[in-house]
Amino acid sequence: MFKSKKFTIFFVCLLAVIFFSIYSLINRKNLPIITPRDVNPELVDTLVQHIGYNHKIAPFSFVNQNGKVITNKDYEGKIYVADFFFTTCQTICPKMTRNMAWLQDKIKDNPKVKLLSHSVFPHEDTVEVLKKYAKEQGVIDSKWNLVTGNQQDIYKIARQSYLVVKTGKPEEMYDMVHTENFVLVDQKGRIRGFYNGLNIDKEVKGEQNLTQLLEDIEYLSEKD
């Protein structure tokens, strides 16, 4: 009788474990690894449109608001959010920067996460200009790099690595980059999502907002 009772308890506990394991599996978050083949072809340079596996952000080297050279090595093993802006922009950039500052406040105590903003007017956005802008926006140097550098390198990485800018003819490769996208990159340098940098929590069909971005960052942090 006693053995039978112990077996019943064990069997019930086993069923509970199996049930919750199946429930977790069914309801776990689906955060895809995005490649050029997954994105609207108009947003992908023809040189990388064929890539459907193992697409990663290409190696880069830029200079930040403190005059320090920032490379992909500084983001190795980190989750990070990237965007493109310029300090004199009067349209989408001010709101994007405020929203990136909002995100900085949310992730400032998470050592696994960093931010990266590329100036698309690098000739005007010198180190001195970026430093002044960073102070005005409350940038935490250890969390958020505002970078300048070779314009062609910045435009190329926007189109061929981050997949955020519409490209038509080859000669348009180095045309103006202007996008509201925030790009989520995981610890292995892979794109995991695109988010509207102008929208913190408004529900818009077909778009992911920054509240969703924050949830996805937390998800990747827990998986690491």
pLDDT at 109 over 70: yes
Beta bridge partners of 194: 183
Domains: count for the chain = 2
Beta bridge partners of 145: 116
Residues 24 and 50 reside in one and the same domain: no
Tell me the pLDDT band of 22, cut-offs 50, 70 and 90.
very low
Residue 70 near residue 64 (C-beta atoms within 8 A): yes
Residues 152 and 202 reside in one and the same domain: yes
Among 41-45, 57-61, 157-161, top mean pLDDT goes to: 57-61
Residues 24 and 69 reside in one and the same domain: no
Residues 8 and 112 reside in one and the same domain: no
Look up the domain containing 23 and give its range: 1-30
The span from the CA of 195 to the CA of 111, in Å, is: 22
What percent of the chain is predicted at pLDDT more than 70?
82
Q: Rounded to an integer, what is the distance from CA 16 to the centroid of its chain?
A: 37
- Please state, in angstroms and as integers, the Cα–Cα distance from residue 126 to each residue in 100, 131, 133, 146, 149, following that order: 20, 8, 11, 10, 9
Listed range (50-54, 95-99, 108-112, 180-184) with the worst mean pLDDT: 50-54
Q: Is 93 annotated as a binding residue?
A: yes
In 3D space, the residue among 155, 75, 67 whose CA is nearest the CA of residue 115 turns out to be: 75
What is the pLDDT at residue 5? 54
The span from the CA of 104 to the CA of 131, in Å, is: 17
HSE (CB half, 13 Å, CA atoms) of 169?
Answer: 3
Among 36-40, 112-116, 158-162, 206-210, top mean pLDDT goes to: 112-116
What is the pLDDT at residue 9? 54
Q: Is 89 annotated as a binding residue?
A: yes
| CA quadruple 223, 117, 109, 112: dihedral sign | positive
Residues 123 and 20 reside in one and the same domain: no
Q: Is 13 annotated as a binding residue?
A: no
Per DSSP (E only), the strands in the chain are 61-63, 69-71, 79-85, 113-119, 144-147, 181-185, 191-196
Residues 129 and 23 reside in one and the same domain: no
In 3D space, the residue among 93, 110, 85, 96 whose CA is nearest the CA of residue 214 turns out to be: 110
Residues 75 and 180 reside in one and the same domain: yes
pLDDT at 14 over 60: no
Mean per-residue pLDDT over the chain, rounded:
85
Element (DSSP H or E) covering residue 10? helix 2-27
Residues 115 and 7 reside in one and the same domain: no
| CA quadruple 43, 48, 50, 51: dihedral sign | negative
Listed range (37-46, 87-96, 115-124, 179-188) with the worst mean pLDDT: 37-46
Residue 153 near residue 122 (C-beta atoms within 8 A): no
CATH code, domain carrying 111? 3.40.30.10
Residue 148 or 17, more confident: 148
Tell me the pLDDT band of 202, cut-offs 50, 70 and 90.
confident
Please give the model's pTM, rounded to 2 decimal places: 0.83
**Percent helix, strand and coil across the chain, each rounded to 5?**
40, 15, 45
Residues 83 and 158 reside in one and the same domain: yes
